[in-house]
Amino acid sequence: MKKIFFWIIVLFFFAPPISAATLKGGYPVCVSEESYKQFLKSYLAGNISDCEYLLREKCFFFDRGLKATVLEKSLFSASAKIRIFLEGQYAEMWTHYKNIEEK
């Protein structure tokens, strides 16, 4: 019983909060964490053709004010997993944590 209570407390205090937010715009939003990391590596390396490919296939720029739900945020990798509602469907995507304006 003590172990169960301990794990409930641990999960309660260390589980990442889910919060409502909007996107600031100006940062790529990608369909997976891997494609987000690929975009950042290509951008920092100055590989414009690879960035253009990823923007056609796996990453997008959305306008400021798009509503999102923050699912995970990592300051170490500067990334955030978000859920957006777009064109009648939900999508879980990855972006830079500075792209998020939490309410």
The torsion defined by the Cα of 31, 34, 39 and 44, in degrees rounded to 10, comes to: 150
pLDDT at 18: 59
pTM (two decimals): 0.75
Packed helices 33-45 and 48-57: angle between N→C axes, nearest 10 degrees: 150
For 29-80, the pLDDT digits (tens) are: 999 999 999 999 999 999 999 999 999 999 999 989 999 999 998 878 789 9
pLDDT at 35: 96
Q: Taking 50 as the threshold, does the pLDDT of residue 84 lie above it?
A: yes
